Structure 1
């Protein structure tokens, strides 16, 4: 099966190089630029994600195929309207996948990897989870709706390729109608911010309309502070990949009640039993 992500890697590499060079020739004091150790960590996380997905995608494909086999109808891949419907269905699935991975701690433990860098550049887009196993349920309904598994995987890849290019400070706000509809570098900078006003905002993939519809939109205003509310200050890929799972385990072990243990797993990041 055609793997769009693998074919896009050379393009990613060229764009990353050009962005890094641009900071050398056109420095900007308001932009963080690149830090070599940070880039190495992001690349390591990206490679690890690719390796994990070599096996995991077979599981995902099998699940999608099983759901598609029992779907009451199969939507024709040669109909352009099918692809239009898939585009919106995939983007909506991504919104809820992304939102729940910020608001349920055990999901956040997987997704926090992507937010762990205190820099924001194209290499940050490659900082991906080594535990992508919680994503499948959000796209499985699309197979039940009659979208072919290969179409779902292709559209997911299209979304990921698009999102690579919005991880940059080199592009300011775009033309008004584009900012109104599309997820842009400006909107996604907000999503990566640890500023109080930016927390849990702008979950969109390609479109920003879901955030506007579900009241999670925040425009870029004050200077974005990248990273986590409490940064882990490490460039060790293994620790980046696992630190939040370790923190959950510590909290669950020390919790005094089963309600507390469940809360540490299923409630939001930062929750504790004495929180208001």
Structure 2
């Protein structure tokens, strides 16, 4: 039983054949999915997909790489979507200084406004951070909002800092890459009670399918690698990461 906490079945590459990819994932033991938005249109599609299946949920938000032209009206639309009962998080939101699609000032403004939406609606957040961990930590530590560090690529030491302020660490395909020492160190060192698994498909396909288009069912290989690195059974990792996801998304009964 797995909970894929971050899939983009709403992406151009996967949306049309989403039923097939969902079935493939079910066949690999995926029980729950969160489809994550990255702009207004993909957020609307995430909500649509969530309403097509009882076991699929949505996150809505505008990512730092998509916020260059974001208006207050766009953010109002995100907040309206976030009130849908199938929406379990605001995201993906955050900071990305690697691609620099939008200025730092614009990214920070958009990030803070969406954190305020999450706080108003008592929702967790799904955080995208790249080459911006210190600024991300500084903003989150003052926000009063908790959530997920999605597709985490920072250091083990930084991961512990995020955990202390209420964040789970979500690992994706890179933990399976042969020379990816940093995510492997994170997987080994972070307590299983604070780990989540995801694919971030259609990107970052895990071994043994690296180089091909990613899909939600490949989260199996992420969980399998974490189990190997931690010296635990696959079943234990699947069970605990699912419990963690149900907790952070406030789905735990």
- Judge same fold: TM > 0.5, yes or no: no
Structure with more strand by fraction: 2
TM-score by structure 1 length? Answer: 0.29
